[in-house]
Amino acid sequence: MTTAYPRLLAPLDLGFTTLPNRVLMGSMHTGLEDKARHFPRLAAYFAERARGGVGLIVTGGFAPNIEGWLSPFGSTLASSSAARAHRPVTQAVHAEGGKIALQILHAGRYGYSPLCVAPSRVKSPISRFTPRELSDAGIQRQIRAFVRCAALARDAGYDGVEVMGSEGYFINQFLAAQANRRTDAWGGDYANRMRLPVEIVSRIREKVGRDFIVIYRLSMLDLVPGGSTWDEVVTLAKAIERAGATIINTGIGWHEARVPTIATSVPRAAFAWVTRKLKGEVSIPLCTTNRINDPAVAERVLAEGAADMVSMARPLLADPEFVRKAAAGRADEINTCIACNQACLDHVFSGRTSSCLVNPRACHETELVIRPAPARKRVAVVGAGPAGLACATTLAERGHEVDLFDGAGEVGGQFNMARRIPGKEEFHETIRYFRRRLETTGVRVHLSRRVAAADLAGYDEVVLATGVTPRDPRIPGQDDPRVLSYVDVLRDGKAVGPRVAVVGAGGIGFDVAEFLVDDGHSPSLDVEAWRREWGVGDPADARGGVAGVKPQPAPPARQVFLLQRKKSKPGAGLGKTTGWIHRAALKMKRVEMLSGLNYEGVVERGLAVSFGEAREKAAVLEVDTIVLCAGQESLRELEAPLRAAGASVHLIGGASLAGELDAKRAIDEGTRLGAAL
């Protein structure tokens, strides 16, 4: 069969073993690694990805010893008994015909632990603990721990290991002079600073033999001022090849970098150019990474000669069958990762098990099981937003007869507004996925059909996924034509003047502000414009890609004031790993954020406000337009009449609860109800 992805699906001969294709499932901490009792879940999670055809899986990071802990008692592989506990994981992957490597991750000074160690006693800007400086013997002990961990991984049945040498962790800390102030054989000039990774890789190779995959994740673009130059990157890559690595994987950005590297506003394949620079310098396969979430993009990257393999991590959370669907010519059925971080990274960074906003089964494979329905029922689902789409398709997949109604002319609900925000173009993919899934599961879709309770007689079950309606903030004078809601602006395209007040600084207020300052030009669709915006240079010219490079954001299309009544920092409730990006992006566009406001009323010159409980410092914000983004309330007017008529009614998503609503909850509730009815 001919394929649209010949390079992506081509086998990769590593000499002693052959990978079936060029897809590497990149390392992701899911939280299931931390306790051996969760390993059966980890095994089911990886087995599903192996069954889906991924070429090589890399686990989340495991510390080689206590000093390398990411967090106290977190994932560690340092003993034979610990290695035995991994066997079900490797066996499950092998039973599906897959291959799996264990990532060895020493956190160094990034460890959230008082036991953390580093080349020098220099605390990182994002760490709580100051690391202990290692002695020479201490460094030798860490190297031995890496080697032991690799040998234990081999005993546990892994096909290889990945040595984590990027993202600002232990090994990176030796490479960068800003974190390595040593004057002995492990510090000073670059030859000394790179001694540690070279030693680790060569001693691992010596221990594990020739027929074991050793991937080295090399930080090619540190995005911190004291990071590596390009010469240093090339020198290290050559030394790592000589030391016996099988594959070099790409690392982009330290955790403390102030440039987004994987968020949804980062353009697709935005960093493939970095790996490409290294092509030709070494002869072992190179793997590129970051924001590659689609087989066509992966194919293009390989066709352009940027790399020999493509690492995708979150896209495999979103769809375990990514590779199999691409290979079968069913790429339009792929559930695309929208890079929101909401259920993966945000969970891990707040101590919760990962999942995926668009695929709530991720990391919950053993618990959220979609089984054929014992009896076929007639089900009406009202509302084709994320909640209704997830529910209707899950119900139909199980064999129920499903009618899906929406008053709008298109499916997607509020995602049709979200996808218009510059930097949120990916949200379109979720709508595309569900549109196709409605077809493949056979849901009957009725668009432009705003239904009333009387239309829903005769169904066995009725699911209300009718979402929300904007909250009315009752500001005096708000019936003025200069006052619009976010729906007027985002859905109906109503005109907005050059000076704007946005009332409400929640997720939607921030998004509307970004929409208004960018005015239709999205740097997320243009890698070069995006690099200028964030100040990402070439490491051949600028150390770490950022030293001396000034961000050059395009001037804002409008003057925007983003307002809230609370006294807290605007945007404090945004995503844990992405909130800073939204705040920084708006700051670059000179958006004025004001907290602790009272809205006194809409007046001739604009919006009258005062501050604090005493209503002090009364002022008028001179604006042409006021956009209301004051939160939302549930829309469930159908519930009471349906219940009165004796219908079996279920509420999901915004219709169930508007507070703290997001698409993650909407899709999760829709899927779970769909699996249960």
Binding site partner of 160, from ligand SF4, ligand NAP, ligand FAD, none, Cβ cut-off 5-8 A by kind: none
**Strand 160-165 to strand 100-104: parallel, antiparallel, or no bridges (unpaired)?**
parallel
How far is the C-alpha of 597 from the C-alpha of 561, rounded, in Å? 12
Which residue among 60, 111, 315, 507 contacts ligand NAP (CB under 6 A)? Answer: 507
Closest contact distance (angstroms) between CB of 474 and ligand NAP is 7
Which residue among 251, 509, 537, 670 contacts ligand NAP (CB under 6 A)? Answer: 509
Closest contact distance (angstroms) between CB of 166 and ligand SF4 is 20
Binding site partner of 467, from ligand NAP, ligand FAD, ligand SF4, none, Cβ cut-off 5-8 A by kind: ligand FAD
Q: Does residue 468 bind ligand FAD (CB under 6 A)? A: yes
Region binding ligand FAD by CB under 6 A among candidate stretches 18-26, 159-167, 196-204, 379-387: 379-387
Binding site partner of 503, from ligand SF4, ligand NAP, ligand FAD, none, Cβ cut-off 5-8 A by kind: ligand NAP
Q: What is the Cα 356 distance to its own chain's centre?
A: 9
How far is the C-alpha of 181 from the C-alpha of 187, rounded, in Å? 6
**Distances 228 to 168, 220, 534 between C-alpha atoms, Å:** 11, 8, 19
Q: What is the Cα 424 distance to its own chain's centre?
A: 13
Closest contact distance (angstroms) between CB of 347 and ligand SF4 is 8
Closest to 69 in 3D by CA, of 35, 31, 114, 26: 114
Among 5, 110, 158, 169, the active-site one is: 169
How far is the C-alpha of 113 from the C-alpha of 107, rounded, in Å? 10
Binding site partner of 317, from ligand FAD, ligand NAP, ligand SF4, none, Cβ cut-off 5-8 A by kind: ligand SF4
Closest contact distance (angstroms) between CB of 630 and ligand FAD is 13
How far is the C-alpha of 576 from the C-alpha of 349, rounded, in Å? 7
Q: Does residue 632 bind ligand NAP (CB under 6 A)? A: yes
How far is the C-alpha of 221 from the C-alpha of 167, rounded, in Å? 9
Active-site annotation holds for 158: no
Count the site residues for ligand FAD by CB under 6 A: 38
Alpha helices, H only, 156-194: 170-175, 190-193
Q: Hey, how many other C-beta atoms are within 10 angstroms of the C-beta on 556?
A: 18
Closest to 240 in 3D by CA, of 289, 212, 203: 203
| Contact flags string 14-53 toward ligand FAD, x per CB under 6 A | ----------------------------------------
Question: What is the sign, positive or negative, of the torsion defined by CA atoms of 337, 338, 341, 343?
Answer: negative
Count the site residues for ligand NAP by CB under 6 A: 24
Contact at 8 Å (CB) between 386 and 662? no
Kindly tell me which of 232 and 333 has the beta carbon lying closer to ligand SF4: 333
DSSP assignment of 73-130 equals T-SB--SHHHHHHHHHHHHHHHHTT--EEEEE---GGG-SSTT-EESSS---TT-SSP
How far is the C-alpha of 325 from the C-alpha of 490, rounded, in Å? 33
Binding site partner of 344, from ligand NAP, ligand SF4, ligand FAD, none, Cβ cut-off 5-8 A by kind: ligand SF4
Closest contact distance (angstroms) between CB of 82 and ligand SF4 is 28
Which residue among 24, 92, 257, 630 contacts ligand NAP (CB under 6 A)? Answer: 630
Which residue among 238, 377, 565, 576 contacts ligand NAP (CB under 6 A)? Answer: 565
Kindly tell me which of 318 and 626 has the beta carbon lying closer to ligand SF4: 318
Closest to 223 in 3D by CA, of 263, 249, 269, 259: 259
Contact at 8 Å (CB) between 175 and 166? no
| Contact flags string 382-401 toward ligand FAD, x per CB under 6 A | xxxxxxx-------------
Per CB under 6 A, which of residues 175..214 are in contact with ligand NAP?
none
How far is the C-alpha of 563 from the C-alpha of 608, rounded, in Å? 12
DSSP assignment of 304-356 equals TTS-SEEEESHHHHH-TTHHHHHHTT-GGG--------TTTHHHHTTT-----
How far is the C-alpha of 548 from the C-alpha of 284, rounded, in Å? 33
Kindly tell me which of 368 and 663 has the beta carbon lying closer to ligand NAP: 663
SS3 state of residue 473: coil
Binding site partner of 404, from ligand FAD, ligand NAP, ligand SF4, none, Cβ cut-off 5-8 A by kind: none
Closest contact distance (angstroms) between CB of 348 and ligand FAD is 17
SS3 state of residue 646: coil
Kindly tell me which of 492 and 613 has the beta carbon lying closer to ligand FAD: 492
Closest to 282 in 3D by CA, of 250, 317, 313, 325: 250
Residues β-bridged to residue 381: 404, 463
Closest contact distance (angstroms) between CB of 395 and ligand FAD is 15
Q: Does residue 467 bind ligand FAD (CB under 6 A)? A: yes
How far is the C-alpha of 433 from the C-alpha of 417, rounded, in Å? 17
Q: Does residue 503 bind ligand NAP (CB under 6 A)? A: yes
Region binding ligand NAP by CB under 6 A among candidate stretches 110-118, 386-394, 617-625, 657-665: 657-665
Closest contact distance (angstroms) between CB of 653 and ligand FAD is 2
Q: 171 is written with which tokens?
A: 């090994």
**Strand 592-594 to strand 649-651: parallel, antiparallel, or no bridges (unpaired)?**
unpaired
Q: Which residues bind ligand SF4 (CB under 6 A)?
A: 314, 317-318, 337-344, 356-358
Closest contact distance (angstroms) between CB of 150 and ligand SF4 is 28
Q: Does residue 662 bind ligand FAD (CB under 6 A)? A: yes
Per CB under 6 A, which of residues 510..539 are in contact with ligand NAP?
511
Closest contact distance (angstroms) between CB of 33 and ligand SF4 is 17
Which residue among 46, 230, 322, 405 contacts ligand FAD (CB under 6 A)? Answer: 405
Active site residues: 169
Which residues contact ligand NAP by CB under 6 A? 342, 471, 473, 503-509, 511, 564-566, 573-575, 629-632, 660-662
Which residues contact ligand FAD by CB under 6 A? 340, 342, 382-388, 405-408, 413-415, 417-418, 421, 450-451, 465-468, 490, 507-508, 511, 635, 638, 653-654, 661-664, 666
